[in-house]
Structure 1
Amino acid sequence: MILCCGESLIDMLPRTASTGEPSFAPVAGGAVFNTAIAIGRLGAPSGYLGGISTDLFGTVLAEALTASRVDFSLAPRSDRPTTLAFVTLTDGHAQYAFYDESTAGRMLSEDDLPALGAETEALFFGGISLVSEPAADSYAALCAQAGERLVMIDPNIRPGFITDEPRYRARLEAMLARADIVKISDEDMAWLSTTPAALIEGGVALVLETRGAEGVVAYSAGGEISVPAERAEVVDTVGAGDTFNAGLLAGLWRSGLLARGSVRGAALEDLRPAIALGAKAAAVTVSRAGANPPWETEL
């Protein structure tokens, strides 16, 4: 199982009411949640770990996970509220306003962390769940306990959401040092003052730099390769990076490479099919509104 560890929330997406007035539609989302959903839809064994509320919106999240074949039996439930993210779109690019105080997801503690069994082959971390305590510290602790499991991280840094920058930087740097795979944007690298070469020197086996319509550049100690983006009519980019992450991990699973040693021992050309699956799946997501990853049959 690929266990996705991090936030789930309700995206309040901008819509126009039948009266012509602006409105918002509640849709299940969150970067890590979206990745878990996409992995399940792509036919790979998907799991989700994060605090889920028992409120109305928490029920929506749980039903969405079930519908996309995601195992969330490790996710603790509580009566705390669900995180809300109000989304605005500018030229198809999303900006977010988060309402996250004392929510079920944010208040995940180290005591809530499960003991991981052999069925958990890989761990995925990322998004805003790595920012706010206590959940951020809980995920960092789980990452440190990963053992020989494959670890992938997508920092997906949102500077406007960070309140304690030194603490966040220290946490993220420690997690990146443990990661086997890092997917990162040029904005993330600029904020971290790092490069793919520096990440590899720090111990990462595979760095994936996403470049939107220009595709993905993959780096390892053995060199680099470019994988083109799939052509698509872009409706919006919500969930595109999350779907890419899912496609990569699902592709590694399909190829029999979903293991720390396998990724570290593979040539970049061996990893190309998994990277290409990520790009292909992401192209479907950007072609329709919201984070709506494709099913395996759509590819």
Structure 2
Amino acid sequence: MILCCGEALIDMIPEPTESGRAGFVPHVGGAVFNTAVGLGRLGAQVGLLSGVSEDQFGVQLVERLAESQVDTTALVRADRPTTMAFVHLKDGHASYTFYDENTAGRMIAPQDVAAVSDRVTALFFGGISLAVEPCADTYADVLAREGANRAVMMDPNIRPGFIRDEAVYRARLSKMFAQADVVKVSDEDLAWLIPDGADLADCAAKLIAQGPALVIVTRGGDGADGYLASGDLVTVAAEKATVVDTVGAGDTFNAGVLAKLDQLGALTKDRVRNLTPEEAEAALAFGAKVAAVTVSRAGANPPWARELA
């Protein structure tokens, strides 16, 4: 099983009302939640570790997980509110304003998290859950305790406006990168992480030097690159799609990468650290394929395996 560790929240997405003014409609979301849902719909064995409220929005989140065949055993339920992300769309591209104080997701603590099941062979971390305490320290603790013998993928999905203490955040990410096998970043994330890099390849090399065996850099409509510790580079083009919005695109890409590595038998600690260029390229290409479906429809709505035939 792949265990996705991180936030589950509500995306408030603008839609026109009868008056002509925009209203906000609640959609289940969160970077790590979306990746878990994407994996479940692609047929992977997957679970979610997250703090989830017992309020009406928490109920929506749990219902979507169940519908998408995601194991909910590791959820930590709490009588706290659900994190809200108000989405602002410009030309189909999304930016976010978060409301996260004292929420079920934010306040998850190390003592809330049980030992990870032996069924879990891979861990995924990412999103805003790595940016704020105490949840960020909780997920870092899970990685330190449980990541040594499991394949580990990370996507920091950096939201600069959400970061409270940049020095602490950078230090936490660096420590987690050193324990990760695969790190996926957008080109914008990579420029933020490595501000002194000469170009994307130089930045990726500096990130690989921190520990990962594969660094994936997504470049929006220009496709994605995979930099392997062996020095090999693979590149895939973006799939053609009519873009409705980009909400959840990167999260779905992550689901596709993980699902393909799992299908290839490459999602174990030993195998993922020794990927061939062909395996890496296949994983990136499948990630691009499933992400193209998500951007073609509103909100984070990853495809089912049957839709890809």
Scaled to the shorter chain, the TM-score interval is over 0.9
Per-residue CA deviation, residues 253-280 of structure 1 (Å, 9 max, x unaligned), is 1111111111112211122222211110
Provide the C-alpha distance between the structure 1 equivalents of 2:296 and 2:98, rounded to a whole number of angstroms. 25
How do 1:65-84 and structure 2 match up within 5 A? 65-84=65-84
Shift of 1:206: 0.6
Alpha-carbon distance in structure 1 between the residues aligned to 2:295 and 2:136: 29
Q: Judge conservation of contact 2:234–2:280 (CA < 8 Å) in 1.
A: no
- Residues matched between the structures, number: 299
Q: Kindly state the Cα deviation for residue 196 of structure 1 after the two structures are TM-superposed.
A: 1.0
Residue 116 in structure 1 maps to residue 116 in structure 2: yes
- Distance in 2 (CA, whole Å) between partners of 1:55 and 1:25 is 17
One-letter code of the match for 1:227?
V
Distance (whole Å) between structure 2 residues aligned to residue 150 and residue 249 of structure 1: 10
- TM-score, length basis structure 2: 0.95
Task: Return the alpha-carbon distance in structure 2 between the equivalents of residues 270 and 156 of structure 1.
Answer: 24
Q: CA deviation at 1:237?
A: 0.6
Equivalent residue number for residue 282 of structure 2: 273
Q: Which moved more, 1:219-228 or 1:57-66?
A: 219-228
TM-score, length-scaled by structure 1: 0.98
Alignment map for 1:1-299 (pairs within 5 Å): 1-145=1-145, 146-193=147-194, 195-222=203-230, 223-299=232-308
Q: CA RMSD in A?
A: 1.0
- Whole-angstrom distance in 2 between the partners of 1:47 and 1:152: 15
How far, CA to CA, are the matches of 1:220 and 1:271 in structure 2?
Answer: 8
Q: Distance in 1 between matches of 2:18 and 2:4?
A: 37
- Percentage of matched positions with identical amino acids: 59
Deviations 1:223-258 (A, max 9, x none): 101111111111111100000000000111111111
Gapped regions of structure 1 (runs ≥ 5)? none
Which amino acid in structure 1 is aligned with residue 284 of structure 2?
A: I
CA-CA distance at 1:157 after TM superposition: 0.6
Contact residue 226 and residue 280 of structure 2 kept, 8 A: no
Amino acid across the alignment from 1:153: M
Partners of 2:91 and 2:279 in 1: CA distance: 36
Query: 2:206 & 2:193 partners in 1: Cα distance?
Result: 11
Partner SS state of residue 225, structure 1: strand
Whole-angstrom distance in 1 between the partners of 2:126 and 2:80: 22
Deviations 1:166-203 (A, max 9, x none): 11111111011111000011211121116111122222
The whole-number CA distance in structure 2 between the counterparts of 1:270 and 1:12 is: 37
Matches of 1:163 and 1:11, distance apart in 2: 21
Report the AA paired with residue 273 of structure 1.
Answer: A
Stretch of structure 1 that moved more, 277-286 or 181-190: 181-190
Letter of the structure 2 residue corresponding to residue 162 of structure 1: I
256-265 vs 3-12, which moves further: 256-265
Q: Show structure 1 runs of 4+ deviating over 4 A.
A: none
Distance 1:243 1:138 in 2: 24
